[in-house]
Structure 1
Amino acid sequence: MSRRPLTVALTGLNATDSPGAGVAVARALRESPEYEVRLIGLSYEALEPGIYLRELFAKTYLLPYPAAGSQALLERLEYVQQQENIAVIIPNFDAELPHFIRLEPQLRAVGIRLFVPTLAQLESREKLNLSAFGTAHALPVPATHALRQATDLAVAAIALGWPLVLKGRYYEAQVVHTLAAAEAAFGQLAARWGLPLLAQQFVAGQELNVAGLADGRGQLLSAVPMRKLTITDKGKAWAGITLEDEGLTELARRFAAATQWRGGFELELLRTAAGEVFILEINPRFPAWVYLAVAAGHNQPAALLRLALGEGVGPFGAVAVGKLFVRYAWDMIADYTDFQRIAGIGEL
Structure 2
Amino acid sequence: MPTSPSPLPASNTRPRLTVAVTGLNATDSPGPGVAVIRALRETTDFDLRIIGLSYEALEPGIYLRELVDKTYQLPYPAAGTAALLARLAHIREREDVAVLIPNFDAELFNFIKLEPELRALGIHTFLPTLAQLDARDKLNLAAFGAAYGFSTPASRPLHSAFEITTAAETLGWPLVLKGRYYDAAVVHSLAQAEQAFARLSGLWGVPLIAQQFVAGQEINIAGLGDGHGRALSAVPMRKLTITDRGKAWAGITLEDEALLALARRFAEATRWRGGFELELIRTAADELVILEINPRFPAWIYLTAAAGQNQPAALLRLALGLPVTMMEGYAVGKMFVRYAWDLITDHTEFQQVAALGEL
* Shorter-normalised TM range: over 0.9
How far, CA to CA, are the matches of 2:137 and 2:160 in structure 1? Answer: 19
1:202 partner letter: F
Structure 1 spans left out of the alignment, 5+ residues: none
How far, CA to CA, are the matches of 2:296 and 2:178 in structure 1? Answer: 18
How far, CA to CA, are the matches of 1:57 and 1:182 in structure 2? Answer: 41
State the Cα distance separating 1:274 from its structure 2 match. 1.8
1:65 aligns with 2:65: no
How far, CA to CA, are the matches of 2:144 and 2:344 in structure 1? Answer: 46
What is the aligned partner in structure 2 of residue 157 from structure 1?
Answer: 168
TM-score by length of 1: 0.99
Post-superposition, which runs of at least 4 consecutive aligned residues in structure 1 deviate over 6 A? none
2:336 partner letter: F
Q: RMSD across aligned C-alpha pairs, in angstroms?
A: 0.7
Match of 1:177 among 168, 188, 199: 188
Percent identity over paired residues: 69
State the Cα distance separating 1:48 from its structure 2 match. 0.0
What is the aligned partner in structure 2 of residue 196 from structure 1?
Answer: 207
2:282 partner letter: R
State the Cα distance separating 1:290 from its structure 2 match. 0.4
* Residue correspondence of structure 1 range 59-98 to structure 2 within 5 A: 59-98=70-109
* Residue correspondence of structure 1 range 85-164 to structure 2 within 5 A: 85-164=96-175
Match of 1:238 among 237, 242, 249: 249
How far, CA to CA, are the matches of 1:155 and 1:35 in structure 2? Answer: 55
State the Cα distance separating 1:277 from its structure 2 match. 1.2
Residue deviations 1:62-102 (CA, integer Å, cap 9, x gap): 10000100100000000000000100000000000000000
How far, CA to CA, are the matches of 1:154 and 1:255 in structure 2? Answer: 34
1:142 partner letter: P
1:10 aligns with 2:21: yes
What is the aligned partner in structure 1 of residue 10 from structure 2?
Answer: none
1:211 aligns with 2:222: yes
1:213 partner letter: L
What is the aligned partner in structure 2 of residue 39 from structure 1?
Answer: 50
Report which of the two structures shows the higher radius of gyration computed on alpha carbons: 2
What secondary structure sits across from 1:280 in the alignment? strand
What secondary structure sits across from 1:87 in the alignment? strand
What secondary structure sits across from 1:227 in the alignment? strand
State the Cα distance separating 1:279 from its structure 2 match. 0.4
What secondary structure sits across from 1:218 in the alignment? coil
How far, CA to CA, are the matches of 1:324 and 1:207 in structure 2? Answer: 15
How far, CA to CA, are the matches of 2:35 and 2:288 in structure 1? Answer: 27
1:271 aligns with 2:282: yes
What is the aligned partner in structure 2 of residue 281 from structure 1?
Answer: 292
1:303 aligns with 2:314: yes
* Residue correspondence of structure 1 range 314-325 to structure 2 within 5 A: 314-325=325-336
How far, CA to CA, are the matches of 1:279 and 1:201 in structure 2? Answer: 12
What is the aligned partner in structure 1 of residue 324 from structure 2?
Answer: 313
What secondary structure sits across from 1:257 in the alignment? helix
State the Cα distance separating 1:180 from its structure 2 match. 1.3
1:84 partner letter: E
State the Cα distance separating 1:151 from its structure 2 match. 1.4
How far, CA to CA, are the matches of 1:182 and 1:243 in structure 2? Answer: 34
State the Cα distance separating 1:266 from its structure 2 match. 0.3
Residue deviations 1:9-51 (CA, integer Å, cap 9, x gap): 0000000010000000001011012111110000000000000
What is the aligned partner in structure 1 of residue 232 from structure 2?
Answer: 221
How far, CA to CA, are the matches of 2:289 and 2:50 in structure 1? Answer: 37
Residue deviations 1:293-323 (CA, integer Å, cap 9, x gap): 0011100000000000001111101121010
Structure 2 spans left out of the alignment, 5+ residues: 1-6, 8-12
What secondary structure sits across from 1:234 in the alignment? coil
What secondary structure sits across from 2:146 in the alignment? helix
1:328 aligns with 2:328: no
TM-score by length of 2: 0.96
What is the aligned partner in structure 1 of residue 4 from structure 2?
Answer: none
1:195 partner letter: V
